[in-house]
Structure formats: C-alpha cells, structure tokens
C-alpha cells in the first residue's frame, strides 16, 4: 500500500496548479477530491456560474450540525512582472524554506488541512471536521459566498471556523471590512486647443481625489480607532485612475477605483454617503454650463470585517491546540472570516502558517518550522475532535 502523502507532498502538488484568480481551478480540485476519495471522505462541490471553478466542502466524522471548519482559498495572485529566482509553480526547497506561488498565501495551510483530513479519516471522530476550500478569494472573497450559502441551508452546520491565512501561527481575532468602489466622472469632450470650452473629466477626477484625501485625513485625525491594528483607523485608498484617449482631446470620461477598509464602529455606507455629497459639491456649480456633468459612485465588491471576542470558544480552542501564550491580534488584510461570522454566526478566528509579508511578491515562501507548527496544531485538533468538543 502506498504511503499516505504528507503535507509537503500535498503542497508540492498544489503549487503545481497555477490557479490564478478568475482562472480555472478544476485540476486542483480534482486532485483534492481524489485524495478524499481514497480516504473514504465524502465531498461536495459548489461550482462557479461558468463551471470552470469550484468550491469544495467535505466532512469527516458524524454528520451532525456542529464541528470545526477549516477554511482556505485555492487561488493565487499573478507572477507577471515579478523577478522570481525559481519557477513559481514548482515547489523549491532551500535552507528550510519552501518557495512557490501560494506557499504562504495560502496553499501551505490548505495542504496541512488536507493532511489533517486524511489523519482524521483514520480516527473515530466524535465531533466532525469540515473542509471549506474556495476560489477567487484574492479578488474580494468572491467564490466563498456560494459555499457559505450552501452551508446556510445545510443540516450539517459547523460551530467554529478557523481561517488559515498566514499569521505566523498566531491567533488573529479580527480584520477590517472592505468596500471596493468606482467613481465614474463625466465631462464634455472637445479639442484641446479650445479646452476651456469643454469639461475635462480628468480634472473632475482630480477634484474628487482631493476630497477623498481630505476624508482620509479626517478619519486619521478624528475617526474611530482600534489600536490592535497596525493602521488603527479606517482608510480610504485610490488604486487606479484612467481616462483620456489622446493629448489633443479633452477627455470626456475618467474612472477612479478606490476602497474603504473600515474598523468596527465605522459605517462604510455613511462614508460613501459623504463621498457622494462631495461629488455633488464638485459637479453642482458646473451643471448650468454642462448639464451632462456627473461623478457617479458605484460599489464593486464588499465583505464585512471580523470582530471575535477574546472569550470566544474558537479562541479558547486555538489556545488549547497551539499551546500559545502570545496575545491575540488583528490582521491588516481581509479574509472570508467576516462572511462566515456575519452570514452563519460562526465563531471565527484566523490562524495559519507563514507571514503575509512573504505573500504577493517574488520568491514567496513558507518555512519548514511554520508548516511543522501548523501540522502539530491540526493534529491536536483532530485528537480533540476524537474525544469531542
């Protein structure tokens, strides 16, 4: 009989699948379901509308409405334009580090969760272990929403959720919410030699960016604060501005993509309402001469923040299975954890191998020590589920 694959064996296979966001992940999911089939573990898929990508749900142990779900995403960010020392889609080991796209964010945890599932399949669990692997997380937790809706109508509902994003194996109890938005600025086209007779949409965009920056200064100086975050206040950030066709044409359209990352207690919808008021203040004086002028703000994507109390049962469980005495903290990046908490009411925390400072960059890696600590945590979890939570 072939030896059961280790976390490292599984990770090497997972890295070999170039599962970029918006690209198919079915080959990776096929490999995962093959592992689960050989272990006798049942699974279910929740497909994307076009069928090229899929979320995976699996349960080991009794089919009861309880247990712990291990949540992770299967997609990774692109490598184009990055100077990698090795093939990013082939696992490379050097000096106790495992290099490859997604090793830290977050196929290292997915591999460890699969190894733990294979271990759990050989045990007689009293409390179930669930796996929830999603697609397109990197572009706004897109795929996991249909997975969560499936769980919302399922008789098998976990009680606790561990999201395995890289925290250095520390326990994270929160992250900010996020709203991604687009401001579409409409002016009037014209010949650049007659520019004052037209209305430059780029200028409208620049005026709007000025208001955005003023709102950010106000939030930083007088807004709500949470000192558990590295940036302890709500942030506004413009990431992309585009418009114009040629230098000698006054541009009619300009688009700005921006985001709000809010601490608990700050209502992003109130901030959006203020920004819409700022936009109207910019265009109102121009409307008599240019009736078509507009700055329209539309929401692209959003997910809620995560705010887990320190006395939550998931924090107590993680302290038990990690044997950690380090204080819990809050991460700067977002996760699907807020969606599990908000939609399903699951007690949720974030804990996984590696560090986000290694993610999204060339020569991404996770250390052997971090993977070993994650394996130990998940083995302790399985042992705990064998006697019941």
> Which residues participate in catalysis according to the annotation?
75, 137
- Residue carrying structure tokens 């712990």: 68
Contacts of the segment 269-274: beta carbons below 8 A, 24+ positions apart: 271/215, 271/219, 271/234, 271/236, 272/179, 272/181, 272/297, 272/299, 274/215
Using alpha carbons, select from 360, 386, 277 the residue that is nearest to residue 81: 360
Residue 335's H or E segment, with its range, is none
Residue with token string 């008789």: 155
360: left (phi over 0), alpha (psi -120 to 50) or beta: left
- Write out the DSSP string of 124-151: --SS-EEEEEES--TTTS-THHHHHHHH
Beta bridge partners of 329: 172
Distance of CA 292 to CAs 172, 248, 286, Å? 48, 21, 9
| Residue bearing tokens 């007690």 | 347
Q: What is the DSSP-derived secondary structure letter of residue 124? A: -
Extract the tokens encoding 160: 């606790």
Give me 219's structure tokens.
């939030």
Q: What is the CA radius of gyration of the chain?
A: 24
Helix (H, G, I), strand (E, B) or coil at 116: helix
Alpha-carbon span 349 to 132, nearest angstrom: 15
CA distances to 44, 143, 199, 368 from 133, rounded to whole Å, are 11, 9, 49, 23
β-bridge partners, 258: 181, 238
């Amino acid at each position: 009989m072939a030896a059961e694959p280790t976390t490292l064996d599984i990770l090497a296979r997972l890295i070999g699948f170039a599962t970029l966001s918006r690209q198919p992940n079915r080959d990776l999911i096929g490999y995962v379901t093959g592992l689960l089939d050989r272990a006798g573990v049942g699974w279910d898929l929740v497909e994307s509308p076009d069928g090229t990508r899929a979320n995976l749900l699996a349960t080991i142990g009794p089919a009861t409405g309880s247990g712990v779900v291990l949540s992770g995403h299967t997609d990774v960010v692109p490598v184009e334009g990055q100077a990698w020392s090795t093939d990013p889609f082939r696992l490379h080991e050097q000096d106790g580090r495992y290099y490859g796209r997604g090793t830290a964010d977050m196929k290292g945890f997915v591999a460890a969760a699969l190894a733990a599932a294979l271990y759990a399949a050989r045990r007689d669990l009293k409390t179930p272990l669930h796996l929830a692997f999603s697609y397109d997380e990197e572009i706004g937790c897109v795929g996991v929403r249909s997975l969560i809706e499936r769980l919302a109508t399922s008789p098998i509902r976990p009680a606790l959720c561990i999201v395995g994003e890289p925290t250095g194996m520390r326990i994270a109890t929160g992250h900010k919410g996020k709203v991604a938005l687009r401001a579409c600025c409409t002016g009037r086209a014209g010949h650049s030699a007659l520019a004052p007779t037209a209305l430059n949409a780029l200028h409208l965009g620049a005026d709007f960016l000025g208001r955005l920056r003023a709102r950010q200064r106000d939030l930083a100086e007088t807004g709500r604060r949470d000192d558990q975050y590295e940036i302890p206040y709500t942030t506004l950030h413009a990431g992309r501005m585009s418009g114009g066709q040629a230098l000698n044409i006054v541009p009619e359209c300009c688009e700005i993509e921006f985001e709000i990352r809010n601490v608990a207690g700050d209502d992003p919808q109130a901030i959006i309402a203020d920004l819409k008021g700022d936009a109207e203040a910019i265009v109102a004086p121009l409307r008599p001469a240019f009736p078509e002028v507009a700055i329209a703000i539309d929401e692209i994507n959003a997910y809620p923040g995560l705010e887990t109390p320190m006395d939550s049962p998931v924090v107590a469980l993680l302290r038990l299975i990690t044997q950690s005495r380090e204080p819990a903290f809050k991460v700067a990046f977002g996760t699907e954890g807020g969606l599990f908490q908000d939609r399903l009411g699951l007690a949720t925390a974030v804990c996984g191998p590696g560090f986000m400072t290694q993610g999204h960059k060339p020569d991404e890696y996770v250390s052997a020590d971090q993977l070993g600590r994650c394996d130990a945590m998940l083995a302790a979890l399985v042992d705990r589920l064998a006697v019941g939570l």
